[in-house]
Structure 1
Amino acid sequence: MVSSVEEQLVSEGYKKTELGTIPEEWLIKTARDIFIKIQDGTHFSPKIGGNDYLYVTSKNIRPGKLDLSSAEYIDEKQHKSIYKRCDVRKGDILLTKDGANTGNAALNNINDEFSLLSSVAFLRVSKEIYSSQYFLQQIMSPSFQQAVQVAMSGNAITRLTLDKINKLEFLVPSTKEQTAIATALSDVDALITSLEKLIAKKRAIKTAAMQQLLTGKKRLPGFEEDWKTVSMNRDADLKARIGWQALTTTEYLDQGDFYLVTGTDFKGGRVNWSTCHYVDEWRYSQDRNIQLTNGDVLLTKDGTIGKVGYVDKLNGPATLNSGVFVIRPVQNAFNPMYLFYILSSRIFDDFLNRITAGSTITHLYQKDFVTFEFEAPNLEEQNQIAAVFSSMDDELDKLDQRLIKTQNLKQGMMQELLTGRTRLV
């Protein structure tokens, strides 16, 4: 029960509830009260094959999106058996109910019939009273996702049963306000989707350009000189933290003056200094060969091998852990940034595939890496090719930052609109 003191702290037009302070006219209803049908898919595994009917599983449900890029199909007989129980329709909300992505939800925008696995439930509203888009947005909100986790807690098998889904609680404004909120949030979703598509397109263009320019299939204007072979054994200086210098995890410090760079600190081909640990000065000074400088090329040799980084903005004194090579040119044999793009390309992927074929190798040995060779133009053309890709990376980085800001904007809008703190009607 709300105390008189608490009542005085509530703004006019609002009320305190177990789900927080909400507008006075908003209601709290369970899924059972809102949805006219809540049903999951088949509890048997049909035989995959043919192209009769789409078969949707939890892997196809991404947050806010129905992703059919890896969709599978089943034959008509199996589909008809499943569809008798779970007749999914356009406009239903699809909700994953078990597995790692439990709580993901998407709106079904498919006109045709399809079948569901039991890991997905569908929720159907009465369109005269409720907006399915509004409830989809509420399901994707951080507070609702937390409620999903609470609903699953306490069981050995973490899943949302239909009974638990029926008991989940929703904030329910008027139909008019539901529509207004859903429209505002959907507009931001559309912007996020367009940015994601643009980024994917730009990445594809970069990949195609790398395949052309790094192999000589396409030349930059003004260059005709023959290419020469660059050998990691002859033309590169390769260093790493040697065995007796190995660091223990207790030496990974949360703060300090000397950065420790590991393969997990590579983000977008650059060092993400904000995620780096630190080491004591004596550990940094222990080996000058692995003290980083601008222009160093980094390559992981343990765990996820072949992950590449480039040091272009050294934040301060930095050294490496034992899982990373630092590569530098011998007597200007190559442009380091050009090598970075070579190691990020299909050329190096093919090399790794050859040396790891038929094995479960999780380590890139120096004796193997030094056998890597590639064809390269003179330094001037390398510089210009590297500049082309660096410009593409700058553009992609700006788009990524814009996407992050838009996603953060969406989170803030959800927090305001789906709780009634900000009203649109």
Structure 2
Amino acid sequence: MGIAMVFKSTPWPLKMVSSQGQVQAGRQRSPHFVEGKMRCYLRVANVFDGFIDTSDIKQMPFSDKEYEIYKLAQGDILLNEGQSLELVGRPAIYAGKPASCCFQNTLVRFRPGPECDPKYALQLFQLCLQIGVFASIASQTTSIAHLGVKRFSRLKLPFPPKKEQQAIATILSTWDRAIEKAEAIIEAKERRKAGLMQRLLTGKVRFGEFVKSQARQKTKSYDLPEDWGYPTIGDIAVAVSQKNGTKTSLPVLSCTKHSGLVDSLAYFGKQVFSKDLSTYKVVPRGAFAYATNHIEEGSIGYQDLHDKALISPMYTVFKTSGVVHDGFLFKLLKTEWYRHIFQTRTSASVDRRGSLRWKEFAKIHIPLPSMEEQGKIAEVLDKAEQEIEEHRNQLTALKEQKKGLMQQLLTGKVRVKVSLL
């Protein structure tokens, strides 16, 4: 679909981006540049959708002449020049921090002219990213798409009079603030949940009805209540290794770092698993599965989606005995400190470099309160996760509302009265 078709209903004339401001590529990073003052610069890794991450700023030498060419001014918009197809052109506005900063050739700079409002331009570029305008004009080499300074500068987009631009940007910024607030709430609640998990799963905080002793026992990793067990995973679980053989009707699962096991086709939207499923492992309901070669990344899941499903032969499958509450164990194994334990054991494994097979995995110890206390801990953490999920759903709704509003306001389908300013 051409750009004119995307914005065919706009009441405003389509204008080239270059007519609304200066478009420029960033400075090449080359070993030939050896003289000059060390200055900070922004690159693709700093530019996210709508904001610039300043937590990891690099430096390289710039001559005085180069600095004058590539230094950023507040209100400049940076777009990813080279990225994956769905992220190429991702824009963010430079708010003046860090000061005296330049930009690299992996970015394209748009400096708005006197008739272009920077905040409107940012919203317009975000819409172009969302509806695939940038992807449609990008060139592709292997897995990287390139926006291209010339292609971007010649792109024709709707630019109403500046006062109307400002009115549109003001309305959309209201949704941005609501989205930022929702994201901050989720981040705070995730930190709270992480702290709660640390305290509950190690018995630093307990439910009074389960406490039999105030004394604590020391283990290699942490202190535990004296009345808790400290078995190995092999003491409370057994490996399961059933091949699919000629059966191919079972759903295929993949494992994600945050969500655990998911239906592969639904999650990825395409088939990423092998056509030959004969060597795939059967994962019964109530079983765990982890990526034998990537467990240190947190790739472990619990199968509660189907009576039976399949997973890659590169995974290890195991089931627990009756002394363990599966919800408790899953939450424990998904914590950051157990991911670190997996990483340490993987590095030390002699069975196969870069993997953690069942023999070594089974030697890992876990804290184990009574079944009743495990269930109570899992219940409290489930409620904390449900609360976070509700806020995530609210955030998704806000983003969808803003996306729909952008398509109405930035195309002129719905007009804004300038008197709103």
How does the TM-score come out when normalised to structure 2?
0.79
Query: Among residues 18, 23, 35, which one is paired with 1:38 in the alignment?
Result: 23
Change (3 A) 1:19 1:203: closer
Change (3 A) 1:378 1:355: same
Aligned residue for 2:384, secondary structure, equals: helix
Query: Among residues 30, 54, 58, which one is paired with 1:72 in the alignment?
Result: 58
Aligned residue for 2:24, secondary structure, equals: strand
Supply the distance in 2 between the matched residues of 1:186 and 1:406 (Cα, whole angstroms): 12
Query: Among residues 316, 324, 331, which one is paired with 1:334 in the alignment?
Result: 324
Which residue of the partner structure matches residue 288 of structure 2?
297
Which residue of the partner structure matches residue 355 of structure 1?
345
Aligned residue for 2:359, secondary structure, equals: helix
Change (3 A) 1:227 1:304: closer
Change (3 A) 1:405 1:86: same
Which residue of the partner structure matches residue 366 of structure 1?
358
The alignment status of 1:208 with 2:222, answered yes or no, reads no
| 1:166 positional shift | 2.0
Number of aligned pairs?
384
The alignment status of 1:196 with 2:186, answered yes or no, reads no
Supply the distance in 2 between the matched residues of 1:383 and 1:135 (Cα, whole angstroms): 52
Aligned residue for 2:319, secondary structure, equals: strand
Q: Any conservation in 2 of the 1:273–1:315 contact (CA below 8 Å)?
A: no
Q: Residues 266-277 of structure 1: matches in 2 within 5 Å?
A: 268-269=259-260, 271-272=262-263, 275=266
Q: Any conservation in 2 of the 1:241–1:322 contact (CA below 8 Å)?
A: no
Q: Residues 4-23 of structure 1: matches in 2 within 5 Å?
A: 20-23=7-10
| 1:301 positional shift | 2.6
Q: Any conservation in 2 of the 1:304–1:362 contact (CA below 8 Å)?
A: no
Change (3 A) 1:311 1:422: same
The CA deviation string for residues 89-148 of structure 1, in whole angstroms up to 9 with x for no partner, is 111111222244430111111163212112223222234x22111111111114786333
The alignment status of 1:93 with 2:80, answered yes or no, reads no
Supply the distance in 1 between the matched residues of 2:357 and 2:44 (Cα, whole angstroms): 39
The alignment status of 1:389 with 2:389, answered yes or no, reads no
Supply the distance in 1 between the matched residues of 2:320 and 2:28 (Cα, whole angstroms): 59
| 1:340 positional shift | 0.4
The CA deviation string for residues 319-376 of structure 1, in whole angstroms up to 9 with x for no partner, is 544344443332x211111110111123422331222116784543121121121122
Aligned residue for 1:216, secondary structure, equals: coil
Q: Any conservation in 1 of the 2:295–2:342 contact (CA below 8 Å)?
A: no
Supply the distance in 2 between the matched residues of 1:141 and 1:304 (Cα, whole angstroms): 38
Supply the distance in 1 between the matched residues of 2:95 and 2:283 (Cα, whole angstroms): 55
The alignment status of 1:150 with 2:136, answered yes or no, reads yes
Which residue of the partner structure matches residue 231 of structure 1?
232
2:239 maps to a residue whose letter is L
Which residue of the partner structure matches residue 345 of structure 1?
335
2:237 maps to a residue whose letter is A
Supply the distance in 2 between the matched residues of 1:347 and 1:158 (Cα, whole angstroms): 37
Which residue of the partner structure matches residue 83 of structure 1?
67
Q: Residues 129-278 of structure 1: matches in 2 within 5 Å?
A: 129-142=115-128, 146-153=132-139, 158-225=145-212, 226-242=227-243, 245=244, 258-263=250-255, 268-269=259-260, 271-272=262-263, 275=266
| 1:45 positional shift | 4.9
Residue segments in structure 1 that go unaligned for 5+ positions in a row: 1-15
Residue segments in structure 2 that go unaligned for 5+ positions in a row: 213-226
Change (3 A) 1:66 1:79: farther
Q: Any conservation in 1 of the 2:41–2:57 contact (CA below 8 Å)?
A: yes
Which residue of the partner structure matches residue 112 of structure 2?
125
Supply the distance in 2 between the matched residues of 1:143 and 1:343 (Cα, whole angstroms): 37
Change (3 A) 1:65 1:381: same
1:259 maps to a residue whose letter is P
Which residue of the partner structure matches residue 414 of structure 1?
406
Q: Any conservation in 2 of the 1:92–1:125 contact (CA below 8 Å)?
A: yes
Which residue of the partner structure matches residue 215 of structure 2?
none
Aligned residue for 1:410, secondary structure, equals: helix
Q: Any conservation in 2 of the 1:57–1:117 contact (CA below 8 Å)?
A: yes
The CA deviation string for residues 355-400 of structure 1, in whole angstroms up to 9 with x for no partner, is 2116784543121121121122112211111111111111121122
1:364 maps to a residue whose letter is L
Aligned residue for 2:29, secondary structure, equals: coil
1:231 maps to a residue whose letter is T
Which residue of the partner structure matches residue 47 of structure 2?
61
Q: Residues 92-111 of structure 1: matches in 2 within 5 Å?
A: 92-100=76-84, 101-110=87-96
1:234 maps to a residue whose letter is D
Residues 232-241 or 367-376, more deviating: 232-241
Which residue of the partner structure matches residue 394 of structure 2?
402
| 1:216 positional shift | 2.3
2:382 maps to a residue whose letter is S
| 1:60 positional shift | 0.5
1:41 maps to a residue whose letter is G
How does the TM-score come out when normalised to structure 1?
0.78
Which residue of the partner structure matches residue 322 of structure 1?
313
Residues 144-153 or 105-114, more deviating: 144-153
Aligned residue for 1:398, secondary structure, equals: helix
Q: Any conservation in 1 of the 2:81–2:106 contact (CA below 8 Å)?
A: yes
Supply the distance in 2 between the matched residues of 1:82 and 1:145 (Cα, whole angstroms): 35
Aligned residue for 1:263, secondary structure, equals: strand
